């Protein structure tokens, strides 16, 4: 994800991109280029976003696409408190959304779990 704005211009595509733009390199992926294009097209359709392909990592203005000012995103790990004190309907709805829609596994624990106690002691 970019941390600064940049302007890309290769003669065919001229566009200003804002900080927060997600960059996905085509090389080094565990799938073929055709499979990656299919996955990107599917994600674009499901999320209502536009994907732009670029020919070079050099930009006209702002950060280049190989810059150290691009942050590598990590898939989040989610822990959800359930049980006493938690609304079971809300917990079920949130779990379903994260697990089914976003493909993010959720670890569910109760407030009484010793691991949770360690976490809250650390934060306090």
Q: Could you read off the pLDDT of 27-61 as tens digits, one per residue?
A: 899 999 899 999 999 999 988 999 998 988 999 99
pLDDT at 4: 95
Question: Residue 6: in which H helix or E strand, if any?
Answer: strand 6-9
Question: Is pTM beyond 0.75 here?
Answer: no
**Res. 79: pLDDT tops 70:** yes
**Res. 121: pLDDT tops 90:** no
| Cβ 48 vs Cβ 9: under 8 Å | no
Query: Rounded to the nearest 5°, which phi and psi values hold at 88?
Result: -65, -35
Ramachandran sector of residue 47 (left: φ over 0; alpha: ψ -120 to 50; beta: rest): alpha
Q: What is the mean pLDDT of residues 104-109?
A: 86
How sure is the predictor about 81, in pLDDT bands with cuts at 50, 70 and 90? confident
Summary mean pLDDT of the chain: 86
**Res. 116: pLDDT tops 60:** no
**Res. 107: pLDDT tops 60:** yes
How sure is the predictor about 117, in pLDDT bands with cuts at 50, 70 and 90? low
Alpha helices, DSSP H, located in the chain: 33-47, 88-96, 114-123
Question: Residue 16: in which H helix or E strand, if any?
Answer: strand 14-17
pLDDT at 50: 93
- The four Cα atoms 51, 54, 59, 64 give a dihedral, to 10 degrees, of 80
């Amino acid at each position: 994800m970019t941390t600064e704005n940049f302007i890309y211009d290769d003669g065919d595509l001229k566009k200003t991109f804002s900080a927060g733009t997600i960059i996905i390199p085509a090389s080094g992926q565990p799938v073929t280029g055709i499979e990656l294009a299919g996955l990107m097209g599917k994600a674009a359709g499901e999320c209502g976003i536009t994907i732009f392909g670029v020919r070079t990592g050099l930009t006209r203005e702002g950060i280049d696409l190989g810059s150290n000012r691009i942050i590598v995103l990590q898939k989040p790990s989610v822990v959800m408190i359930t049980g006493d004190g938690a609304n079971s309907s809300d917990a079920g709805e949130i779990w379903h959304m994260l697990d089914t829609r976003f493909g993010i596994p959720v670890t569910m624990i109760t407030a009484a779990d010793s691991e949770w106690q360690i976490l809250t002691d650390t934060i306090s």
